[in-house]
Structure 1
Amino acid sequence: MAERAITVAAWESLFRAQVTIMRALAAEFPSEVISLNEYDVLFNISRAPSRRLRLKNLNRNVLITQPSVSRLVDRLTTRGLVVKVPDPDDGRGTIVGITEAGFDLFRRVALEHMGAINRQFGDSLDADELEQLVDLCNRLRAGVEEAPPGHHVHLE
């Protein structure tokens, strides 16, 4: 286990880098077309098999809270970008699918957003460093997901 001081310094550095990059990406994001949160929802649905996802699973993957996701999905439905249907395997559940119009909008925005990601993020690291960063971030997420519920670090 690493020393507490280096652990805190690494966390601080990771957090500040993430905030700085997200601010730069937000400044370039075409928010007049779609919000970052709407993009996140469309992104997650577009990656799912058949571009359909249970609302419950969508809630686990997006970066906003569950009540906000439900309201956002309702707005996207009103705009004709997604559809909601009852889950045939569980009548209590809802399946959210992206429409052709939603997928076309997502693709158009994604191309622009990927350019910004490359400029604001990818140009700072080489391919090996980016692969290493992916591995490190996956390990960090897995470590948190595998921690037992209620597991807390005790500070002395």
Structure 2
Amino acid sequence: MLTPVVDDDGAPFWEYAAQGELRIQACAEPGCGELRFPPRPCCPHCHSFDSEWRRMSGKGRVWSYVVPHPPLLPDYAAQAPYNVIVVELADAPRIRLVGNLVSGPDAALNSVAQERIRIGAKVQVVFTDGAGLPRWVLERP
């Protein structure tokens, strides 16, 4: 299993994910509050260095997807073919996260048939036990 490369700015994202929470960095400057992903030290809107981590609903929709052939990552070769989806968050439409559409939190990456993936499908975030990697399940399987 691949593990994320964690930097100082993104460390809180992974700490919350390990606890089963999807949080996105937001500007803490009064009057701004813009969400930003990927995490970074400075708000691109008001240039404040103050930030906080806001809990998201974890709901979203499939914005795009791909099924790589052959698998691009050797650590995932045994699970091919697998999907990679881009999810637009329902409560932050300008924020998009990359992950996999799976049948359940601990399911294999190839647990959802390719023909079931649709642009615009509603999804909900789930987390793999211990790994803290956000994954996605269909809201109505």
Q: TM-score, normalised by structure 2?
A: 0.23
Structure 1 or 2: larger strand share?
A: 2
Q: Which is higher, the Rg of structure 1 or of structure 2?
A: 1
Point out the structure with the larger helix share: 1
